[in-house]
Structures are given as C-alpha cells and as structure tokens.
Amino acid sequence: MRDVAIIGVGETKIGELWDRSLRELGIEAGLKAIQDAGVRGEDVERMYIGNMSAGKLIDQEHVAPLIADYAGLSHIPSTRIESGGASGGMALSEAYKAVASGMNDIVVVGGAEKMTDVGEDEAKKILSSTADQEWETVFGATFESLYAMMARYHMDKYGTTREQLAQVAVKNHSNAAKNPNAQFPRETNKDFVMKAPVVSDPLGMFDCAPLSDGGAAVVLCPVERVDEFEGEPVEIVSMGEGGDTMAVHEREEIGTLKATQRAAEMAYERAGLKPEEIDFAEVHDNFTITEIMAIEDLGFFEKGEGGKATEEGKTELNSEISINTSGGLKAKGRPVGAVGINQAIEAVHQLRGDAGQRQVEDAEYGLTHNMGGTGASAVVHIFGRWS
C-alpha cells in the first residue's frame, strides 16, 4: 500500500443557498480544489462524490457523473457514495483506498448536499430515513427523538447535565465565529441555548445542527508524487471504518457509539498512534450529545467524562484537545454529503498552519470522525503535518 496525501482543497460557503444548485456547489468546490492542488483536468483519473439523498431532495439521481460533466471531467469514471451522514467521509475513504492500492494516482473526492430545496419538515423526514424505517421511524420516531433517548440515557447513567450539552453549542459557535465559511459565524451563550424551544427533551433547538446547503472537495495523490504539484500536502496517515445496528433498540447500550469505537481503534492501530497524540479533532456533532459521546468513544476522555470535560473547557481551542475548530456541524453547518469532506478540509488548514484565528498551536496530528444515521456507520481519518 502506498502513502497518500491531500494536495488540494476547496469548499463553498455553507448556508441556505436557495439561489445555488447542487451542481453549482459541487463544481465550485471541485474547481477550487483542483486549482489549489495545481493539477490539470487531464491529470484527474477518478472522482468520488459523497451525497446522502439527491433523489429525494432535488429529484436527481446519478449525481457524480452530473458534477463531473459540468466540471469538464466527463472523461473520468465518477461514483456517488451514500452512507447517510457519513457519505462524505466514506467517499474520502474510497478515494484513499484507490490511491493507496495503486489503482489511481490523482483522485478528486467531493461532497455536496442541497437540503433547502424542500420544506423543513420534508428535509427532516428525509434525514430520519437514515435510521431504521421499519422498526423506528414508521412508528413516529424522529431523528431528534432517537438522539434525545441517547442523551437521556447518558444523563441518567453518567450524570451528564443539560448545562454540559449547552456548552458544546457555545464552544462550537465560538469557533464558527472565526470561520468565514460557517453558516452561523456568531457567538452564543449557555443561557440562550438552554432557553431555546424544546425539540425533543432534553434537546432544544440549539442542540441540533441546521439544515444546510454546501459543497466541498479535496484532491488526493500518492506521497511519492507530491513534488510534481503546487499544492501544500498533508498526509492521510490512516483510516478506519466501523458499523453497528441500524435500530437503536438493538444495541447493547445506547450511550455508546460502537461503530465510532471500532473505526477509531482501526485508525489508531494503522497509524501507530494513541488518542493522546492527536492535537485536534473534527467530530460528528449533529446534536450536542453526539459530540459528548464521540469524544469518549474516540478515546479522548473516559466513558461518561465527555460532558464534564466539555464543561471544564478541555475541548476548547488550544486546550487539552481542540474539538470542532471549524464550528462543527452545529455551527459551521450540515450539508450532509459534504460533512466528511468539510472536516478533512479543516484538518488540512490546521496542519498547513493557515486556519487563521482558529489555528491550533503546533498541530502535528488531526482526526476526523464522520457518522451515518444514529451511529450505524462511522469512519475515522487521521492526518499528519507534512515534514
């Protein structure tokens, strides 16, 4: 297997982009990444696109060739990857494997989602379809209520508090205020978060990531070829994938993300690293409780200590470990298919040292964690600073 690097990155602003189409978002991100890498269109051999549900959201299937066509890359094979909320991360994983195996040298991997072309209720229904339809959502369980059950379990078992959930949102909005591409680049406070309308107890409106439009792309190549291109490289040190049951009620306990644990263990083992060697992480925070569970199951804190660690400021920028420096899904935004690629782009900026006001000091290793559904799929990537 060959070592793999990201040599180019590009992303759109995230938000309610009603005047932009999915193809426009994908093309903008892809062209920015290609330009950043300094590669030519004819150099690109393959494309992977992460996308959750274009068929339902914009009535368009077969979106990978669509984006390749309009980006002037219709000569290459292009494949859409769908894994719920982990679609972008899984697309990056497939691209990584293609380059590491020697099958391809120059691969573009992107993610895009257009979630505001349908009403809010319809978009939430589509998101909920990434849970178990036959045994959960058909009986009225929503995405929010399923995560609310996880939150209540975690609170009852480990003593996690409503204030600790709110602090996740406060911290991530503070980071997003330093990110020009964020959907909500503004500060908030704990009192405001806790007084927001209840969505599904104990989760309120500001415990939930928004519905978003956006696109993101990166360019991969083997490490042995990075000197041929202009883009400043960042190495993909390792990756890991994990799975769990679709239905929440089938799990051993609902306060643990088993797929995340499995993906993390695989990534750490392949990298020869331990959690304490990671300087920053972009974790899947579609709800505030998800971040608390994720930082435990990724090994950064003991099980049940994630809420306390957040409350004590251990996950803030340049603290014990910097979590969601981009603002995360919660504040940067959640264009579902693009999330895993947006996370990788933040890792690249941090390791290049060009993250501006949200820069992690002396960062050597970063981790991204992207999750699908209520945790049935998860993918973890570890990135290293180029030396």
Share of the chain above pLDDT 90, in %: 94
CB 210 within 8 A of CB 144: no
Average of per-residue pLDDT across 12-22? 96
Q: Give the confidence band of 108 by pLDDT, cuts at 50, 70, 90.
A: very high
Q: Are β-strands 46-50 and 78-81 bridged in parallel, bridged antiparallel, or unpaired?
A: parallel
Instruction: Quote the pLDDT of residue 138.
Output: 87
State both tokens at 246: 């679709």
The DSSP 8-state label assigned to residue 369 in this structure reads: E
Please state the CATH superfamily assignment of the domain spanning residues 4-119+211-234 in this structure.
Thiolase/Chalcone synthase (3.40.47.10)
Instruction: Quote the pLDDT of residue 353.
Output: 97
Instruction: Quote the pLDDT of residue 360.
Output: 98
| pLDDT tens string 120-147 | 899 989 988 999 989 998 888 999 999 9
Average of per-residue pLDDT across 46-58? 95
pTM of this structure: 0.97
Distance CA 249, CA 205 (A): 25
Instruction: Quote the pLDDT of residue 387.
Output: 80
CB 302 within 8 A of CB 296: yes
| 104 backbone dihedrals φ, ψ, rounded to 5° | -135, 160
Q: What is the largest CA-CA distance in the chain?
A: 57
Residue carrying structure tokens 């991360």: 89
The CATH class for the domain spanning 139-209+237-384 reads: alpha beta
139-209+237-384 and 4-119+211-234 share a CATH fold: yes
CB 36 within 8 A of CB 9: yes
Answer whether residue 84 shows pLDDT above 90.
Answer: yes
Q: Please, is 22 exposed, middle or buried when counting C-beta atoms within 10 Å of its C-beta (0-12, 13-18, 19+)?
A: buried
CB 130 within 8 A of CB 52: yes
Give the residue among 161, 160, 164, 169 at the shortest CA–CA distance from 192: 169
| Cβ density class 79-101: b for 16+ within 10 Å, e for less | bbbbbbbbbbbbbbbbbbbbbbe
Question: Domain segments of the chain: what residues?
Answer: 4-119+211-234, 139-209+237-384
| Complete DSSP assignment for 91-111 | HHHHHHHHHHTTS-SSEEEEE
Answer whether residue 386 shows pLDDT above 90.
Answer: yes
Give the residue among 89, 113, 96, 172 at the shortest CA–CA distance from 341: 89
The DSSP 8-state label assigned to residue 354 in this structure reads: -
Instruction: Quote the pLDDT of residue 199.
Output: 96
Helix (H) or strand (E) holding 27: helix 22-37
| pLDDT tens string 56-73 | 999 999 999 999 998 889
Average of per-residue pLDDT across 245-250? 95
| pLDDT tens string 295-311 | 999 999 999 999 999 99
The distance from CA 289 to its chain's CA centroid, rounded to whole angstroms, is 16
Distance CA 172, CA 180 (A): 14
Packing angle of the helix pair 143-158, 120-128 (nearest 10 deg): 60
Distance CA 158, CA 362 (A): 33
